[in-house]
Structure 1
């Protein structure tokens, strides 16, 4: 992909140079008008630009296919942590003081050497706002 853009630019530029060289001779011999030369250059540029977009499409499609395969693999991965069949639920009054406490918590992925995060103590009271 990194070399395709310079090559296509080179082809487009060389085509324009060739058209101008041939057109200059035809204009000098009074067999062609300047407007026809400009029109011919415009048509050639449009055709070559369309081919450039088509080649870009052939580069992007395999990349998109590989990305879609990776996304599908992630979406179809079964979690290693299963939810319990029955979980304990507690209800509290709206004005009851509730706090969330973590003491000596670490999290590490399976087969990983280091923990993703680790902290000794975290307390979040119901009246305390962490962020807005």
Structure 2
């Protein structure tokens, strides 16, 4: 029945700042960008190389996330990378704080966390080709 994840939706507090973060820093491709006047809201569709998408939304005065990261609901968004050290260096070059690298005790894969402009926890998970 299910064949994969099509998209993840993110609501941001500052549309231009988050757009720059996901497009310019993380390198996601813009698929579509639309302003919905009736909702005073932007919707930006972004594509990852594997076909998955992120929908970035802006809304006037969205409520804050209850807590980080143990609030009920989505805990974090994980991106697959081929070279974790390369990805970390790219983030450090842009002055993005990255947590120390950890190793998953069950898979022996390396991973780390960083945050988007609104503090949404993002993970880099290394899967070497």
Do both proteins adopt the same fold according to a TM-score greater than 0.5, normalized to the shorter chain?
Answer: no
Q: Which has the higher strand share?
A: 2
Q: TM-score band, normalised by the shorter chain?
A: under 0.3
Higher relative contact order (CA 8 A, sep 6+): 2
Q: Which has the higher helix share?
A: 1
Between structure 1 and structure 2, the one with the greater Rg is: 1
